[in-house]
């Protein structure tokens, strides 16, 4: 099936540093998502993005978070500055349309903030 890639697979950084998580979505998809999963807990929605804009975001999407997809390249999640509680696995997803359309997930980026 369609593949979503995420780079890097693991990232360890010091608290206060900036980190950028990269997502290569399915090529013809138009909607992009980030989810956060803390170890042992459920996956939680952060943000979705369409046509160059944030469409909706959750309360977990703090002011330190930003997303963009410049010129149709990677869909990125930037955290600046990072905090200890940002340690989690971040999953990117994409879908062709919104609504009930299937979201395809990447394998996740494991972020550890020290």
Residues found near another protein in the complex (CB under 8 A): 1, 4, 6, 31, 33, 35, 41-45, 48, 55-56, 58, 91, 93, 95, 98-100, 102-108
Q: Cβ closer to another protein: 86 or 104? A: 104
Q: Spell out the SS3 assignment of the chain.
A: CCCCEEECCEEEECCCCCEEEEEECCCCCCEEEEEEECCCCCEEEEEEEECCEEEEECCCCCCCEEEECHHHCCEEEEECCCCHHHCEEEEEEEECCCCCCCCEECCCEEEEEC
Q: Cβ closer to another protein: 16 or 107? A: 107
Q: Least Å distance between CB 42 and another protein?
A: 4
């Amino acid at each position: 099936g369609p593949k979503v890639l995420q780079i890097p697979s693991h990232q360890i950084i010091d608290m206060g540093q900036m980190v950028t998580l990269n997502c290569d979505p399915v090529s013809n998809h138009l909607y992009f998502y980030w989810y956060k999963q803390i170890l042992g807990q459920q996956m939680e929605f952060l943000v979705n993005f369409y046509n160059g804009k944030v469409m909706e975001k959750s309360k977990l999407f703090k002011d330190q978070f930003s997303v963009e997809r410049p010129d149709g390249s990677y869909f990125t999640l930037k955290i600046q500055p990072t905090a200890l509680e940002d340690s989690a696995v971040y999953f990117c997803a994409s879908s062709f349309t919104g609504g009930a359309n299937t979201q395809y997930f990447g394998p996740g980026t494991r972020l550890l903030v020290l």
